[in-house]
Structure 1
Amino acid sequence: MDARIQALWREKLEPWLAGLEADRLRFVKRRWTWTAGGIVLSLIVALVLVQQGFELPPVIMALVIGPVGGFMVGSHELGKLSKRIKAELNATIADALGLTYSASPPAPVRFREMRDYGLLPGSDRQKFEDHFAGQRDGCDFELYEAHLEQRRRSKKRTYYVTVFRGVIIRINFPRKVEGLTVITRDAGWFNGLQAFGRSFGGKKLERIGLVDPTFEKAFEVYGSDQVLARYMLTPSFMERLLALETSLAGKNVRAAFDEHSGQGELLIAAETGNLFEVGSMSKPLTDPGRFSKIVDELDHITGLVDLLIAPAQLNEHEARQGGD
């Protein structure tokens, strides 16, 4: 963390959070008061049910509903404070790093295409948050957090299950990318069924063999042009793509190079869980870990954008050398 970011914490954010500490303590106390009240009420109700001869299930339900309901009601104001602090921290840190921030953005510009290309699963319910945007090395980029759910039905009820929770990254390269190249995860023994290609968003793409067997085990690549795909997918680029999983503690990163924007465009999805949160509200607000965690996560992202762009610039240099 550089001196400028440390000064931001010391001179602005830490004093601001210290001024909210009394509110946090009051709201935490109120939450436990409501929870205790719910426990007492549930015990009374359960005792009445036993005396009235009710069977065990409604008694257990009464013992559960009281504490849970009390905790949820008592947590309302604490939750509002947490959202306020998260928005302020993220916006302030983003501004210091030359980025913009939105807590509740609309759906990403290329969301439908990312689903068509197999980077994201189909979903019936979507939530997007924590949108960061900026520029690195002449390239515009943006990041969203996405929570995607599918609707499931059983005989008794309809419910939703999470099918993706992670980050969506879009990078506009400063040079043209031709065609479409999709990087998916290795499909195991299903690869044989797809040896001659797959359809992505109505586009038939052929399978591209990777030079390095290490990445061949991790990824499946399909493209509209064999030469162009191999030109983009150097071993150094594939290493950096896998580094995204490690640095953001994610998994199943997948990507696509697309000519849609008229310039080079790289779309990435990675299952990272929920990032950019302020942590437990049971701890003092001035705990510097709240701040450093968000800074580290944003540093990882901007650093990864730098790394992902670098191979493309290197390829152009190599291409010029090859033409000499």
Structure 2
Amino acid sequence: MAVNFVISPAVQSVLEELEIQRKKIVSTNYKGWGLILGGILLAFPVTNFGGLIAGLLVGAAAVIPGGVMLYKISDDTAQYKSRFKKEVVGAALSSVDQCLTLDPTNGISEAEFTSSQLFTTGIDRYHTEDLICGKVDKTSFYFAEVHAEYKTETRTKNGTQTTWHDILKGIVFTADFNKNFNGVTVVRPKDFGSSIGAWFSKNIFSVGDKNVVELENDGFNKNFVTYSTDQVEARYILTPAMMERINDLNQRSAYTVSLSFINSSMYVAFPLDKNYFEAPVYKTLLRADLLDDDISILGFMYDIVHELDLNTRIWTKQ
């Protein structure tokens, strides 16, 4: 669905104030890095003609002030980003739906991420932020950005080399399905040839081939394989309308989405190639499309929630 949002005069005033702060941050960053780069470049010819000590002194005379400028402006940058999330993104969400709330420092806990059974790879590093909560009719939902990683270590002649791999870098969405599921149903990408599909095939909740659910939707079956420990329940969950919604979401997403239905919740994980709800630093805030991408994410969520509501009308928790 299309989510309508118009920047209010109050938010516009905040944006104009933040734009001044943004320009100061950019200017200071350029000056700071310019001094550091200039100091390094100047140090080489001075070293050649005046010796190492002279080169270091000349370089330090520019590098140190540049570093101090960057250190001091880092606090302003953090404050700028925090105000943007709270006063701009928060206001935008409230204007779309007053029940929507944003908590920039909270997210999906690692324990819940693991219990969703979308992924079984052990997590070595986990970060989550920007928890958004809301309710549409009887359906409560929340979602947050998640970056879960695992590491591999390789022994080389120079020592141990650590490499980090993404389990998921994107958004995890969950909604109350208003039904206690008897089994576990998992919908995973069918295209295991792609890099992200390969990760999903290794990481998603492991069920055997005997648990494959045959669904009468060619478009859905082309993109996904469905597994469930309860075949009848899986068909109640994945109605024709629900499969069309998932297909639509998948087409609008950068990578193939993945879903699980467990306990009384639905989980959707979809990788993203950018962070949302972040203040731009090197682009102006005073543009009409400033929040278009952020608000479009809400459209994804509302599409799912509205379809969920159709199912909650025929199911109740036992």
Indicate whether 1:168 and 2:172 are aligned: yes
Q: For residues 293 and 225 of structure 1, do their structure 2 counterparts lie closer, same or farther at Cα, with a shift above 3 Å needed?
A: closer
- 1:91 is matched with 90
Once residues 50 and 230 of structure 2 are traced to their aligned partners in structure 1, the CA distance between those partners, rounded to angstroms, is 75
Task: Work out the CA distance in 1 between the residues paired with 2:14 and 2:191.
Answer: 50
Equivalent residue for 2:249? 244
Partners of 2:226 and 2:270 in 1: CA distance: 16
Q: Runs of 5+ in structure 1 lacking a partner?
A: 55-61, 190-198, 318-324
Deviation string for 1:211-231 (max 9, x for gaps)? 223322322222122222122
Query: SS of the counterpart of 2:285?
Result: coil
Matched, 1:215 2:220: yes
Structure 2: which 5+ runs fail to align?
53-58, 194-203
Equivalent residue, structure 1, for 2:196: none
**TM-score of the aligned structures, taking structure 2 as reference length:** 0.76
Alignment partners' CA distance in 2, 1:205 and 1:172: 28
Per-residue deviation at 1:107?
Answer: 3.7
Query: Partners in 2 of 1:83 and 1:121 — Cα distance?
Result: 33
Q: In 2, Cα distance between the equivalents of 1:51 and 1:122? A: 56
Q: Give the distance between the partners of 1:284 and 1:243, measured in 2 at CA.
A: 32
Aligned-pair distance for 1:24? 2.3
Distance in 1 (CA, whole Å) between partners of 2:226 and 2:277 is: 34
Of the three residues 15, 23, 36, the one matched with 1:25 is: 23
1:58-207 equivalence runs, <5 A: 73=71, 76=74, 77-96=76-95, 97=97, 98-108=99-109, 110-114=112-116, 117-119=117-119, 121-154=121-154, 155=156, 156=159, 157-186=161-190, 200=205, 206-207=211-212
**Distance in 2 of aligned mates of 1:270 and 1:288:** 27
The CA deviation string for residues 174-217 of structure 1, in whole angstroms up to 9 with x for no partner, is: 3443322111222669xxxxxxxxx9479997222222233223
Q: Please give the secondary structure, in 2, of the residue aligned with 1:217.
A: helix
Aligned residues: 285
Q: What is the distance in 2 between the residues matched to 1:279 and 1:134? A: 22
Whether the aligned pair in 1 keeps the contact of 2:3 and 2:299 (CA below 8 Å) is no
- Percent identity, please: 21
Per-residue CA deviations over 1:62-85 (Å, capped at 9, x if unaligned) read 9xxx7xx85964762335413331
User: In the aligned structure 2, how far is the partner of 1:95 from the partner of 1:282?
Assistant: 26
Q: Flag the 1:298–1:121 CA change in 2: closer, same or farther, 3 A.
A: farther
**Distance between the aligned counterparts of 2:178 and 2:118, measured in 1?**
25
Pair 1:285–1:120, CA change in 2 (3 A): farther
CA separation of 1:213 and 1:299: change in aligned 2, threshold 3 A = closer
1:39-54 aligned within 5 A? 39-48=37-46
Which residue number corresponds to residue 192 of structure 1?
A: none
Question: Residue deviations 1:33-83, cap 9 Å, x none?
Answer: 1111012111123335556999xxxxxxx9xxx7xx859647623354133
1:224 aligns with 2:225: no
Q: CA RMSD in A?
A: 3.4
* Deviates further, 129-138 or 87-96: 87-96
Structure 2 distance, partners of 1:202, 1:34, is 54
Cα distance in 1 for partners of 2:207, 2:300 equals 34
Structure 1 residues 120 and 30, CA, compared in 2 at 3 Å: closer, same or farther? farther
Q: Classify the secondary structure of the residue corresponding to 1:297.
A: helix
Q: Which amino acid aligns with 2:21?
A: D
After superposing the two structures, state which structure 1 stretch, 288-297 or 72-81, moved more: 72-81
Greater relative contact order: 1 or 2 (C-alpha under 8 angstroms, separation 6 or more)? Answer: 2
Shift of 1:254: 1.0
**What is the rounded CA distance, in whole Å, between the counterparts of 1:30 and 1:139 in structure 2?**
47
